[in-house]
């Protein structure tokens, strides 16, 4: 049923959006808020079901569920619940928009979203971005980034990757040779060749290309990218390499990074958990433990607290511990 991974959040069985809407209203009426009720409903329904609950909520009470949640909760707990209630494509658009708003650009967010989604997903996001913000995602990217990194994002934004899944071993050898000639075998780097191959070939074909590259050189293409590139373009190419090689590992590393060191990047933690919980969060948890020797739950426990922590537990399919 889940060809690309195992989710932690699945559509609730025996789903009753009217009952859920009434229960949410009850949880927020009068003095105090029943946060556990909010978690049990919002974090244990699929995005599609949450949209239905919001329609029923508005129909029955003439109020906007997101507005009510905003007035009853705060901080990261609020941010998480509001993110969950947005249609997933709107959530992605808001994350991209936030990454480019104000002074400076959060390139990591652009990389994480554009380097990991399918053509159809990128296409849907582009259309919705225009509707929501009255601007073309591509022109926003152009004005916020520069150089090779800009070209990489524009290529990804075109959503023109081959998705046939067809593999051609001879073409893979040729591409591996081209990458070698464009990078390690010359003085300076021909970025456009890396851009073209990594943005156009399908994932199965890229796996073959990476294998051929390693056969020819004795080391991974990732190592070559680190040697030949730096900065955002390097991060972008490595993200594509890792997504092709093992997507769960890539997202596990994003979660690890959001909590490693001093302070937590909650925006990043929330984004990865919201966007992957219905796709492959079970696989990401397995990868996390394999890569870092500790469970994702133990990291969440160490870095978050209160209702926010319990909501994250629910989303990653973990039981509350006292």
Is 162 in contact with 200 (CB distance < 8 Å)? yes
Mean pLDDT of 49-62: 98
Cα 26 from chain centre: 33
Residue 29, pLDDT above cutoff 80: yes
Residue 91, pLDDT above cutoff 90: yes
- 64-73, 256-265, 282-291 — which is least confidently predicted? 256-265
Instruction: Name the band, by pLDDT with cuts 50, 70 and 90, for residue 187.
Output: confident
- Phi then psi dihedrals of residue 170, to 5 deg: -70, -40
Mean pLDDT of 286-312: 97
Model pTM above 0.75: yes
Residue 262: what pLDDT? 86
Strand segments, DSSP code E, in 126-247 are: none
* CA–CA–CA angle 273, 24, 304 (5° rounding): 35
- Phi then psi dihedrals of residue 3, to 5 deg: -65, -25
| Nearest CA-CA partner of 75 in 271, 267, 310 | 267
Residue 320: what pLDDT? 83
Angle between the N-to-C axes of helices 266-276 and 281-292, in degrees from 0 to 180, rounded to the nearest 10:
130
Residue 31: what pLDDT? 78
The larger pLDDT score, comparing residue 189 to residue 210, is at 210
Residue 96, pLDDT above cutoff 80: yes
Instruction: Name the band, by pLDDT with cuts 50, 70 and 90, for residue 30.
Output: confident
| Nearest CA-CA partner of 274 in 86, 62, 23, 36 | 86
Residue 159: what pLDDT? 92
Residue with tokens 């050189």: 217
Instruction: Name the band, by pLDDT with cuts 50, 70 and 90, for residue 32.
Output: confident
Residue 193, both tokens: 């060749």
Kindly state the DSSP code that residue 34 receives in the 8-state scheme. -
Residue 322: what pLDDT? 52
Instruction: Name the band, by pLDDT with cuts 50, 70 and 90, for residue 3.
Output: low
Write the CA distances from 262 to 222, 259, 302, integer angstroms. 28, 8, 12
How far is residue 289's CA from residue 297's CA, in Å, rounded to a whole number? 10
Residue 55, both tokens: 């329609």
Is 105 in contact with 230 (CB distance < 8 Å)? no
Residue 103: what pLDDT? 76
Residue 1: what pLDDT? 42
Q: What's the chain's average pLDDT?
A: 94
Domains of the chain: 17-85 (1.10.220.10), 88-158 (1.10.220.10), 169-245 (1.10.220.10), 248-316 (1.10.220.10)
Residue 247, both tokens: 């997507």
Residue 104: what pLDDT? 76
Torsion of CA 303, 307, 312, 314, to 10 degrees: 140
| Nearest CA-CA partner of 153 in 112, 210, 125 | 112
How far is residue 157's CA from residue 114's CA, in Å, rounded to a whole number? 7
Mean pLDDT of 274-285: 97
Mean pLDDT of 247-275: 95
Residue 4, pLDDT above cutoff 80: no
């Amino acid at each position: 049923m889940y060809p690309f991974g195992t989710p932690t959040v699945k559509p609730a069985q025996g789903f009753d959006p009217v009952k859920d809407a009434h229960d949410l209203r009850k949880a927020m009426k009068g003095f105090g808020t029943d946060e556990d009720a909010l978690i049990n409903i919002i974090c244990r329904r699929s995005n599609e079901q949450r949209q239905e609950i919001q329609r029923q909520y508005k129909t029955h009470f003439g109020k906007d569920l997101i507005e009510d949640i905003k007035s009853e909760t705060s901080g990261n707990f609020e941010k998480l619940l509001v993110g969950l209630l947005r249609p997933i494509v709107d959530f992605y658009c808001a994350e991209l928009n936030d990454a480019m708003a104000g002074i400076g650009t959060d390139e990591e967010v652009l990389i994480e979203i554009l380097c990991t989604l399918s053509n159809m997903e990128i296409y849907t996001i582009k259309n919705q971005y225009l509707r929501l913000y009255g601007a073309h995602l591509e022109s926003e990217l152009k004005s916020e980034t520069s150089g090779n990194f800009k070209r990489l994002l524009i290529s990804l934004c075109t959503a023109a990757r081959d998705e046939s899944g067809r593999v051609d071993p001879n073409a893979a050898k040729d591409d591996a040779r081209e990458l070698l000639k464009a990078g390690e075998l010359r003085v300076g780097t021909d970025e456009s060749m890396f851009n073209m191959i990594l943005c156009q070939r399908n994932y199965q074909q890229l796996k073959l290309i990476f294998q051929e590259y390693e056969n020819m050189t004795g080391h991974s293409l990732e190592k070559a990218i680190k040697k030949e590139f730096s900065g955002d373009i390097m991060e972008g190419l490595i993200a594509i390499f890792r997504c092709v090689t093992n997507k769960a590992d890539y997202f596990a590393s994003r979660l690890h990074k959001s909590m490693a060191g001093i302070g937590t990047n909650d925006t990043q933690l929330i984004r990865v958990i919201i966007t992957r919980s219905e796709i492959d969060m079970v696989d990401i948890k397995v990868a996390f433990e394999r890569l870092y020797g500790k469970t994702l739950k133990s990291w969440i426990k160490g870095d978050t607290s209160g209702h926010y922590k319990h909501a994250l537990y629910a989303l990653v399919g973990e039981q509350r511990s006292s």
